[in-house]
Amino acid sequence: MQKKQTSVDELISFILEGIEEVKGNNISLLDLREIENTVCDYFIICNGTSNTHVNAIVGSIQKTVSKKLKDKPWHVEGSDNSEWILMDYVNVVVHVFQKQVREYYDIEGLWGDAKVTVIENSIK
């Protein structure tokens, strides 16, 4: 029996659901497919208000994706200080920042050629 191939669109949808569930802020989706030599197809970037909030966002993403798709990140980095946690789902890399750290590193500026979609939070 072959495992069902999960679409990237489904993965993105469930990652966004996990972020919105715990009120992650300023969500952006960067489409990197038209840029040469990228490590993945998409970045999802958001921020939390504190270490606790950043950890809650990451936990919610992991729980939602695991529950809906039976998938887990290939790698998670940055959990020690929770200022910037990177979650690598291979085709989709999630960056969860604290606001000031996000502004400092300016990932959207570094990937200025990417198509950026700002995601409006649907859960209020």
Taking alpha carbons only, the member of 82, 84, 75, 119 closest to residue 104 is 84
Q: pLDDT by residue (tens digit) across 20-47? A: 999 999 999 999 999 999 999 999 999 9
| Res 55: pLDDT | 97
**DSSP assignment of 21-73:** HTT-EEEEEEE-TTSTT-SSSEEEEEEESSHHHHHHHHHHHHHHHHHHHS---
The DSSP element (H or E) to which 10 belongs, if any, is helix 8-21
Number of Cβ within a 10 Å radius of residue 70: 10
| Architecture in CATH of 8-109 | 2-Layer Sandwich (3.30)
DSSP state letter for 90: S
pTM of this structure: 0.91
Q: pLDDT by residue (tens digit) across 48-59? A: 999 999 999 999
In terms of Cβ atoms closer than 10 Å to its own Cβ (0-12, 13-18, 19+), residue 106 is exposed
